[in-house]
Amino acid sequence: MQSGLKGRSILVTGASGGIGAATVRMLADEEAHVIASGRDEAKLLELQSTTGCEVLPFDLTSEDEVRSALTGLELYGVVNCGGWGGEIATPMETDTSVFDKVIDINARGTLLVTKYASQGMVAAGKGGAIVNVSSQASMVGLAGHISYASSKGAVDAMTRVSALELGKDNIRVNAVNPTVVMTPMSEWYWGRDDIGGPLINAMPLGRWATENDCAAPIVFLLSDGAAMISGVCLPIDGGFTAV
């Protein structure tokens, strides 16, 4: 199956992180014109050296920076992958300043990129696709994830509303909802037997996701193979939410 992504311009935010970088690499393999954005410019430049992607850093929390970066940029696709995990805390203990920051980056950042990217996509009149990177945490209750889950629940809602609003312009909007990707950053928490053990024991496939496990469905949802898929929040969770 041909993806139809060759030569199409696709913006990937959060490209200096694991899932974002894996997505950039897979899109480059499809010969898309990839524009990589993220917080770590050194990692973006390293990614550029291996994939040939264009680098466009901007601050997801600054509407002025997002507007400046995206106004006049002709895109076919967007991957909203930029995000922050915040803290592990119960609703009784949570630091509301952390909650505000998580919402600012994960939810408001997704909205800002969608707002300004879609304006250009609508004006170009060529359709397109947006994929938001959400989380399993928006679909089930995960202890300690009150801030993160709230932000990703907002992303899921944005996905459905955006699919409705942009469908008339032939722009599809979907989300992927990955389970834990066991990186060094997440291992301190999910690597504990008492924390990660019950989750992985309840997962039919019985393993954690990899960056590529998450990137491949993102690329599919951008592709022509997903031409009739919009408004979907797709679990990438080894069957966890199905049982």
Would residue 6 show up in a list of annotated catalytic residues for this protein? no
Of 115, 116, 148, 189, which one is the catalytic site residue?
148
Phi first, then psi: give them for residue 237, nearest 5 degrees: -140, 20
200-235 exposure pattern, b = at least 16 Cβ within 10 A, e = fewer: beebeeeebbbbebbbbbbbbbbbeebeebbebbbb
> What's the token pair of residue 218?
């993102």
Residues 17 and 36: their CA atoms lie apart, in Å, by 11
Would residue 126 show up in a list of annotated catalytic residues for this protein? no
Per the document, the length of the chain is 243
Residue with tokens 């680098």: 55
Q: Rounded to the nearest 5 degrees, what angle is found at the Cα of 233, between the Cα atoms of 228 and 234?
A: 85
Burial (Cβ within 10 Å: 0-12, 13-18, ≥19) of residue 125: exposed
Whether 105 contacts 148, CB under 8 Å: no
Of 116, 152, 168, 189, which one is the catalytic site residue?
152
| Catalytic annotation, residues | 148, 152
